[in-house]
Every structure is written in C-alpha cells, then in structure tokens.
C-alpha cells in the first residue's frame, strides 16, 4: 500500500521533500506534517465545496475544512464575491472601517451575554488577550486550564500536568519559562473536583475551557460540567472564559453559549468568523471589554487587526449561517451518526462515535472518551492504517487519532453515504483479526 500511495501522490512527496529543506518539518503548523499517522501529506492545490484537490489532481471529500473555518464549504461563491469586492478596494488601511462594526454587531446579536468585541488575527491572539484582560480585571495571576484543551500557542497555555496531584504544571515546550507556567493550573476535562481545589484560595483570575473539547477529538461536556464551572467561578470571583475558537458559530447560531445556555465572562472566537482568512476575536460584557485599550488600560493591538478582506469573508460566511443552515448541519450530523452507528454496531467494531452538531470523532476504542486520558489506549497503528486506507480512497479525515472532523453545508446525504461505505470497508480491513 505504501508504494501505491507514493505513486498516487508523487508530486506531493516531491514538494514535501523540498518544503522540509526550507520550512521546519515542511509545514507551517505541526499537525499538517502527518507525524500522527506517518506518510507524507497531500499538498493541496485548490478546493471547492466539500472537495479538496492535491497537486497530483487526486480529489478528496474533505472532513477537515481547514480545521473548522470552512463551514459553508470551500470557495463558496458568496464568500469569494465578498472577499474580491473587499480586495478591489484595498487590503489594509490600519484605520477603522465600517465593516468591522458590522461584524462586531453580528457577533453581539448572535451570542447571548456579549456586548463588545475586539478583533485580532488568530485564535492564539484571542485567548492570550482574553487571559490578559481577565488577569487585569481580577488583579490575579493564576489561570486554570484543562488537560487536552487547546487554546493556541501562547506561553501560558503550553503547560503539561506536573507529577503531584495539585502540583503546578511544567512547560510542555522548550522555550516556555517555568516562571510563566507556574500560574497555569491544569485540571481534567469533565471533572469538577480538582477545579474546586484550585479556586479555593480565591486567587485564580480565570478558568478557560473549550465548551466542547475539540482538540483531543470531539469530547462533549458531561451534564453539569459547564454549569458547575460557572457556579464555582461565581463563588470565587473567578472569570469563566469559554474558548469558542472552534465551537463559535459551529455548534449553534450563537455558539456553545447558546447551545448549552452557559453565561461566560469572556468568549474567544476565530476560525468560522474569518471564513478561512486569518482572524480571531475576544468578546464579553461592556464592563470587562471597556478595560481594553484605548478605552481602558489593558494593552492589546494589531497592525492587521480587523483586516478588511478577513472581515468581509467572515461577515459573508455568517450571513450564510442562518437558522436553516444550523438545522441542515445538525441533520447532516445526525444522519452521519445514525449511518455510522449502524456500521459500528452491526459488526461490533470497537469504535466510538462522538458528535456535537457538525463536529465528530471516531475513536478506535470501545468506551466513550470523556477526558483526554481516556484516549491514551488508542492503537496508533490501527488508526494510521484506517486513516491511510480512507485517504487513498479519497476521504480526507483529520490526520490524528485525537482531532475532530467537521461537516459543512456542502456535504450532502449522498456524500455521507459514500463516506460511511468507505468507513465500513476500512473498519472490516483494520479489524479483520477481531471479527
């Protein structure tokens, strides 16, 4: 299969080799290098609707969607038109534009409890800035994050659990000072117990959480988890930051805030609000957001922030995401779930499907994954074999056993049928010794 794969993606293999000479690992973001599944990644030339095409003109049904932003499908004509219109009028002014207010108003209108929005350039910037604001507003330094939740690559978040139960974390990357992560405490997702211990001293500025775990596979919050965090934060004067960079405008019209009915203090966005262009945002009630410069003293800035092309593409994307669109996404997700569960249960495959709306993961194990440690027993070779079989057949899934996959408005029940048939075939092959 290895040889066949190289033949099929000969150009990609050559391009990857060239890339590794001038770009670390050949990629500009680590997961793209396929280290989790082996082999070389297809180099993408273009994309349209649910399809991506590589440099060898192989076509793939895309379930990555640029890791979430492409919720209306690739190169949607209305988004293309909006971005082109914006480009024709100049790409960046470093001055305020009418369009930024329109996007901010749209976000405020959709997300309960949000009154003001600051646009930045990435999800990383959004979470980093939200934590700065939370620290300033509370006069506290410590934050609590959850194992397996990803909030971008700012120093404070690059922390792994230490050895002791209530220990402070260790930097998870060289180059991150101990002094920075000493204020980052790590709790287990879907587990309130340790959070209460962390908050007890009334010295934690913020708890930051992905309302649906999306960066360790799709891990829904168990009943009472988000509600419990809200209640504890209120009791201890700690702010609750919902990191909706992935879930925002993905799991509902008003994101997870609406879907789960949780009141956040601050919310971070990215991905969908740029429609595939670089963007991020942090948002909250006026009394907090007013503390951001220049109306307040919490410094945060950006040369390209509110970039007109990104704002136009994001606004056009949100315009396509009306109530009917979320019904479509939900029913596509439900259809995929029903069909896949039929396959999984029909043959007793040791596979768990976890889904929230149009986000889903297939975990190759028989018990649900409630926290990242549950997934530690996943057989990587088995996943890699499944993944590459699917890829060779034209189904582009996230190249890691620990990532979510996504549906878009351009996926159809017919395409989902093809995907499910492919999945069944490759489950039979991978689990041949078991069944």
Ligand X SMILES: *Cc1c(COP(=O)(O)O)cnc(C)c1O
Which residues lie near ligand X (CB under 6 A)? 122-124, 127, 150-152, 210, 214-215, 243, 245-246, 270, 280
- Report DSSP letters for 17-62, one per residue: HHHHHHSGGGSSSGGGG-TTT-S-PPPEEEEEBTEEEETT--EEEE
CB 125 → ligand X: shortest distance, Å? 7
Query: Helix-strand-coil percent breakdown of the chain, rounded to 5?
Result: 45, 15, 40
Mind spelling out the 3-state secondary structure of 333-376? HHHHHHHHHHHHHHCCCCCEEEEECCEEEEECCCCCCCCHHHHH
Q: Is the peptide bond before 57 cis (omega within 30 degrees of 0)?
A: no
Task: Answer for the pair 293, 119: CB distance below 8 angstroms, yes or no.
Answer: no
150 is catalytic: yes
CB 57 → ligand X: shortest distance, Å? 29
Mind spelling out the 3-state secondary structure of 268-287? EECHHHHECECCEEEEECHH
Closer Cβ to ligand X, 72 or 209, answer by number = 209
> Facing residues of 428 across strands?
none
| Angle at alpha carbon of residue 251, lines to 379 and 331, rounded to 5° | 85
CB 238 → ligand X: shortest distance, Å? 19
Give me the catalytic one of 60, 145, 150, 326.
150
Q: What angle do the packed helices 413-430 and 380-392 form, to 10 degrees? A: 130
CB 199 → ligand X: shortest distance, Å? 22
396 is catalytic: no
CB 406 → ligand X: shortest distance, Å? 11
Report the DSSP pairing between strands 116-120 and 352-356. Answer: unpaired
Distance CA 70, CA 73 (A): 5
Closer Cβ to ligand X, 150 or 386, answer by number = 150
Closer Cβ to ligand X, 58 or 354, answer by number = 354
Instruction: Report which residue's Cβ sits closest to ligand X.
Output: 123
Closer Cβ to ligand X, 39 or 213, answer by number = 213
Report the DSSP pairing between strands 142-147 and 352-356. Answer: unpaired
Closer Cβ to ligand X, 43 or 157, answer by number = 157
Give me the active site residues, please: 150, 243, 271
């Amino acid at each position: 299969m290895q040889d066949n794969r190289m033949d099929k993606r000969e150009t990609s293999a050559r391009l990857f080799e060239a890339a590794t000479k001038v770009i670390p690992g050949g990629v500009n973001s680590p997961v793209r290098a396929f280290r989790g599944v082996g082999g070389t990644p297809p180099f993408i030339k273009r994309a349209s609707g649910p399809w991506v095409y590589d440099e060898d003109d192989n076509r793939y049904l895309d379930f990555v969607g640029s890791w979430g932003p492409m919720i209306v499908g690739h190169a949607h004509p209305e988004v293309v038109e909006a971005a082109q219109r914006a480009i024709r009028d100049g790409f960046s002014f470093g001055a305020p534009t009418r369009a930024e207010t329109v996007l901010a108003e749209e976000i405020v209108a959709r997300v309960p409890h949000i009154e003001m929005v600051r646009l930045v350039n990435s999800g990383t910037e959004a979470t980093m800035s939200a934590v700065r604001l939370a620290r300033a507003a509370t006069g506290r330094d410590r934050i609590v994050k959850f194992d397996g939740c990803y909030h971008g690559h700012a120093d404070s978040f690059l922390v792994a659990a230490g050895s002791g139960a209530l220990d402070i974390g260790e930097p998870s990357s060289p180059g991150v000072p101990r002094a920075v992560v000493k204020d980052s405490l790590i709790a287990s997702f879907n587990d309130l117990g340790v959070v209460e211990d962390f908050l007890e001293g009334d010295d934690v500025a913020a708890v930051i959480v992905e309302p649906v775990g999306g960066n360790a596979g799709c891990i829904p919050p168990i009943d009472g988890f988000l509600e419990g965090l809200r209640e504890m934060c209120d009791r201890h004067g700690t702010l609750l930051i919902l990191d909706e960079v992935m879930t925002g405008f993905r799991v509902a019209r008003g994101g997870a805030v609406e879907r789960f009915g949780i009141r956040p203090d601050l919310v971070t966005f990215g991905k969908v609000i740029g429609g595939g262009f670089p963007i991020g945002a942090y948002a909250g009630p006026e009394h907090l957001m007013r503390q951001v410069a220049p109306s307040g003293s919490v410094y945060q800035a950006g040369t390209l922030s509110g970039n007109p092309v990104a704002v136009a593409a994001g606004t056009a994307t949100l315009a396509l995401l009306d109530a009917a669109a979320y019904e479509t996404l939900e029913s596509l997700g439900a259809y995929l779930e029903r069909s896949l569960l039929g396959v999984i249960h029909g043959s007793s495959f040791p596979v768990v499907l976890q889904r929230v709306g149009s986000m889903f993961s297939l975990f190759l194990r028989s018990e649900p994954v409630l926290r990242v440690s549950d997934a530690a027993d996943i057989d990587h070779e088995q996943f890699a074999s499944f993944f590459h079989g699917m890829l060779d057949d034209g189904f582009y899934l996230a190249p890691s056993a620990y990532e979510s996959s996504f549906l878009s408005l351009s996926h159809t029940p017919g395409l989902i049928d093809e995907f499910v048939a492919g999945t069944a075939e490759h489950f039979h092959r991978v689990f041949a010794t078991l069944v």
